[in-house]
Amino acid sequence: MIDLKLFFQIVVITCCFYSNVSAQVKSDREYWVNFAYKLSRPILENMSKGQLKQNMPIDVSTTFNRPHEIGYAEGFARLMAGISPWLSLPDDTSDEGIKRRQLREWALLSYKNAVDPQNPDYLLWGKNGQILVEAAYIAESFLRSYDTLWQPLDNTTKQRYIEKFKATRNIDPPYTNWYLFSGIIEAFLAKADHPCDLFRLNTAIRKTEEWYIGDGWFSDGPDFAFDYYTSYVFHPMYLEILHTAEQKHIYTRIDYSAYYKRELYRAQRYSIILERLISPEGTFPPVGRSITYRTAVMQPLALLALNEQLPNELPNGQVRAALTAVLHRMFDTDDNFTEKGYLKLGFYGHQPEIADFYTNTGSLYMASLILLPLGLPETHSFWQAPAEDWTQKKAWNGQSFPQDHMWKDAIPQIRDKW
């Protein structure tokens, strides 16, 4: 005999339990926002007060060969390259809006302190060649949020940045992706209506074209290595250099518009490959050097989503679901953060043995580059579209999924204009 009173009590308790659980489940965007704030606050709150060097511990690889102080520049510059589009959204009174406004206020103060020689958090300008890389990421953050993060700076701070950016011309970049760091700095100078070095800008473009090896992939210099530098640097910075040159109507032999169209096509192909690398569980292969950059691997997918340029094969709901799965798989453990809230040296947790000779705590903030779609408002279809299974999840569940194929350039050859 069933005790009906007990049965109904169990039903009520069960319903209340699942109701509470549902109330605790965050939307994808809320999860991204909370992660972005968690990642950003230790750097920006401290740096806004001139206390980053005082409070941020710098862990380095066993073979590290640069001044430890460069780590502060790396942490700030790389973080800002990832969260700058989000900080450009208008203010509102929501929990997200409050977090975003606070980070923006801290960021603007941090930008100022970074180039103020009298501030304790003045960065390592002019003392090590690595500053070319970090200057590039700061310039990229300005390109990605020009009206919100560059324009409000006072004239003295702006002039200091222009001087620091121009001073990087004294650094001879290695024959690798570093050419793009020089190129994006020159692109920013053009955007800010300052004379840019056209030779450095165009050399970055010509070398990048030479290093394209097909089907969306670049070689990092003359020799190909199977790593993620096509994600970390090549597609995002190359797209932004070409787009800026096109926007500013820079007049040289290079047909920036034609190059941009072809590069976008290549980046879309690469984004399809990236999405297919995401396992049903949200993992991806930890191959190549610099794997401590963690979720920076997904930057091209994130950038194309931000710019509303995802290929037709990748609907918004599918990409959001895939990237969210990656974030959950990577960061739903406290093993990635120190007690003070800074990232640990590693890929998943503390794994200092996999760090490269140039890797330190600041380097790790490349991970923020997955967060670019936060620059889309909450009402955008990227956030509102129903979640869809991504390719591997469909494949391993026995569902229908698109056949893959190589993409050949839609524009096979582009000649100089004269």
The predicted structure's pLDDT at residue 24: 52
User: Does the structure show a pLDDT above 60 at 4?
Assistant: no
The predicted structure's pLDDT at residue 410: 85
Please state the three-class secondary structure of the chain as a single string: CCCHHHHHHHHHHHHHHHHHHHHHCCCHHHHHHHHHHHHHHHHHHHHHCCCHHHHCCCCECCCCCCCCCHHHHHHHHHHHHHHHHHHCCCCCCCHHHHHHHHHHHHHHHHHHHHCCCCCCCCCCCCCCCCHHHHHHHHHHHHHHCHHHHHCCCCHHHHHHHHHHHHHHHHCCCCCCCHHHHHHHHHHHHHHCCCCCCHHHHHHHHHHHHHCEEECCEECCCCCCCCCCHHHHHHHHHHHHHHHHHHHCCCCCCCCHHHHHHHHHHHHHHHHHHHHHHCCCCCCCCCCCCCHHHHHHHHHHHHHHHHCCCCCCCCCHHHHHHHHHHHHHHHHCCHHHECCCCCECCCCCCCCHHHCCCCCEHHHHHHHHHHHHHHHCCCCCHHHHCCCCCCHHHHHHCCCCCCCCCCCCCCCCCCCCCC
- Taking the model in full, what pTM does it have? 0.93
The predicted structure's pLDDT at residue 402: 95
The predicted structure's pLDDT at residue 26: 80
Percent of the chain with pLDDT over 90: 92
Spatial separation of the C-alpha atoms in residues 202 and 320, rounded to whole Å: 35
Report, as an integer, the average pLDDT of 204-214.
97
The predicted structure's pLDDT at residue 22: 37
Burial category of 361 from C-beta neighbours within 10 Å (exposed 0-12, middle 13-18, buried 19 and up) = buried
The predicted structure's pLDDT at residue 175: 97
The predicted structure's pLDDT at residue 36: 98
User: Does the structure show a pLDDT above 90 at 14?
Assistant: no
User: Does the structure show a pLDDT above 90 at 100?
Assistant: yes
Query: What tens digit of pLDDT does each residue of 49-97 get?
Result: 999 999 999 999 999 989 999 999 999 999 999 999 999 999 999 999 9
The predicted structure's pLDDT at residue 19: 39
Query: What tens digit of pLDDT does each residue of 236-295 get?
Result: 999 999 999 999 999 999 999 999 999 999 999 999 999 999 999 999 999 999 999 999
Query: 26-396 adopts what CATH topology?
Result: Glycosyltransferase (1.50.10)
Query: What tens digit of pLDDT does each residue of 330-383 get?
Result: 999 879 999 999 999 999 999 999 999 999 999 999 999 999 999 999 999 999
Query: What tens digit of pLDDT does each residue of 293-338 get?
Result: 999 999 999 999 999 999 999 999 999 999 999 999 999 987 999 9
Tokens of residue 183, six digits: 């190129």
Percent of the chain with pLDDT over 70: 94
Q: Which of 302, 319, 298 is nearest to 84 (CA)?
A: 302
Angle between helix 131-144 and helix 70-87 axes, rounded to 10 deg: 10
Report, as an integer, the average pLDDT of 215-243.
97
User: Does the structure show a pLDDT above 60 at 137?
Assistant: yes
